[in-house]
């Protein structure tokens, strides 16, 4: 009996020790927060929450170039289509001998207006399409880049980061999307945020801006999930997306993380691009 009670106490102690031990990392929660921080940082840097798919851009670039060529070559008849002046007023207030001349002048004025309208439409469409094909660096985009550069600088002071977060919060689209809490979280975890950038794994190359964005999104996801930033960065970087992965649905034979879902959309646009290029069935 004494041995049984001793064994129960040992078993209870072992269970309590397991309960008091380090909790496993919830990768589902981490990927969820990573996605939200990725969108917040990407909106700050580029003005969009997600990057456009390269195949999507190619497909739309071809369509845009085709439209541009059409507008440059289109005749006034092509633009106006069936548009034509309506029936002129009767001009009953004029002598009968002058009514036909008045109607003719009215019709010619209407044709002049329609031609001017068609030319204005042509120039507007050409300007809009060329602007889409060759976007310019606007002051608003330059301001975003400045804020982003301050946040990602390895040796940026705490004061400069707080100021950058204050400017980040004031961006109109950040306010419109309800994303002002994200710069607040950076300010609230300022020292952890700075330590992340001082770690040897932080991407420092000029060409590694996308890697810096992902690194910081993963680190901030860890803080939101109650884990250290470096733990979150390591777990998310090394997470398996193949068979046996923590977020893989074996019935559907695919991983349900946000990156794999995005890749699925990329493959869809790649098929559409192949269809445009080679006429193959998508």
The yes-or-no verdict on residue 7 having pLDDT over 60 is no
The yes-or-no verdict on residue 26 having pLDDT over 70 is yes
User: What pLDDT was estimated at residue 50?
Assistant: 80
**Which residue bears the tokens 């893989």?**
248
The yes-or-no verdict on residue 28 having pLDDT over 80 is yes
User: What pLDDT was estimated at residue 79?
Assistant: 84
Q: Are 133 and 67 in contact (CB under 8 A)?
A: no
Domain map (residue ranges) of the chain: 26-49+138-239, 63-133
User: What pLDDT was estimated at residue 56?
Assistant: 54
User: What pLDDT was estimated at residue 36?
Assistant: 93
Query: Of 66-75, 112-121, 136-145, where does mean pLDDT reach its minimum?
Result: 136-145
The yes-or-no verdict on residue 201 having pLDDT over 80 is yes
The yes-or-no verdict on residue 253 having pLDDT over 90 is no
In tens, the pLDDT along 94-134 reads 888 888 999 899 989 888 888 888 887 788 788 777 877 77
**Mean pLDDT, range 60-68, rounded to an integer:** 81
What confidence tier does 14 reach under pLDDT thresholds 50, 70, 90? Answer: very low
Q: Where are the alpha helices (DSSP H) in the chain?
A: 2-20, 27-46, 54-73, 76-80, 96-133, 139-152, 158-169, 172-176, 181-188, 190-198, 209-224, 229-238, 258-278
**Cα separation values, 212 from 35, 104, 205, Å:** 15, 69, 9
At residue 50, what are phi and psi to the nearest 5 degrees?
-135, 150
User: What pLDDT was estimated at residue 252?
Assistant: 74
Q: What Rg do the C-alpha atoms of the chain give, in angstroms? A: 31
Report the alpha-carbon angle 124-128-132, nearest 5. Answer: 170
The yes-or-no verdict on residue 187 having pLDDT over 90 is yes
What confidence tier does 148 reach under pLDDT thresholds 50, 70, 90? Answer: very high
Give the mean pLDDT of the chain. 82
Query: Of 100-104, 223-227, 243-247, 268-272, where does mean pLDDT reach its minimum?
Result: 268-272
């Amino acid at each position: 009996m004494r041995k049984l009670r001793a064994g129960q106490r040992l078993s209870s102690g072992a269970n309590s020790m397991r309960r008091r031990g380090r909790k496993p990392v919830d990768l589902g929660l981490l990927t969820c927060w990573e996605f939200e921080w990725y969108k917040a940082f990407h909106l700050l840097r580029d003005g969009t929450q997600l990057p456009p798919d390269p195949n999507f851009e190619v497909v739309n670039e071809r369509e845009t170039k085709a439209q541009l060529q059409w507008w440059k070559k289109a005749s006034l008849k092509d633009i106006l289509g069936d548009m034509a002046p309506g029936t002129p007023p009767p001009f009953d207030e004029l002598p009968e001998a002058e009514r036909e001349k008045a109607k003719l002048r009215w019709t010619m004025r209407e044709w002049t207006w329609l031609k001017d309208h068609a030319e204005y439409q042509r120039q507007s469409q050409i300007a809009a399409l060329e602007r889409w094909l060759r976007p310019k660096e606007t002051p608003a985009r330059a301001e975003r880049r400045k804020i982003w550069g301050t946040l990602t600088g390895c040796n940026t002071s705490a004061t400069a980061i707080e100021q950058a977060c204050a400017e980040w919060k004031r961006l109109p689209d950040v306010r419109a999307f309800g994303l002002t809490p994200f710069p607040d979280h950076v300010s609230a975890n300022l020292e952890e945020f700075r330590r992340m950038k001082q770690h040897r794994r932080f991407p420092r190359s000029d060409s590694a801006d996308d890697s810096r964005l992902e690194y910081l999104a993963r680190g901030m996801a860890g803080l939101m999930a109650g884990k250290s930033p470096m733990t979150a960065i390591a777990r998310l970087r090394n997470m398996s997306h193949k068979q046996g992965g923590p977020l893989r649905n074996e019935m559907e034979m695919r991983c349900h993380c946000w990156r794999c879902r995005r890749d699925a959309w990329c493959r869809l646009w790649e098929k559409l691009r192949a269809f445009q290029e080679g006429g193959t069935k998508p």
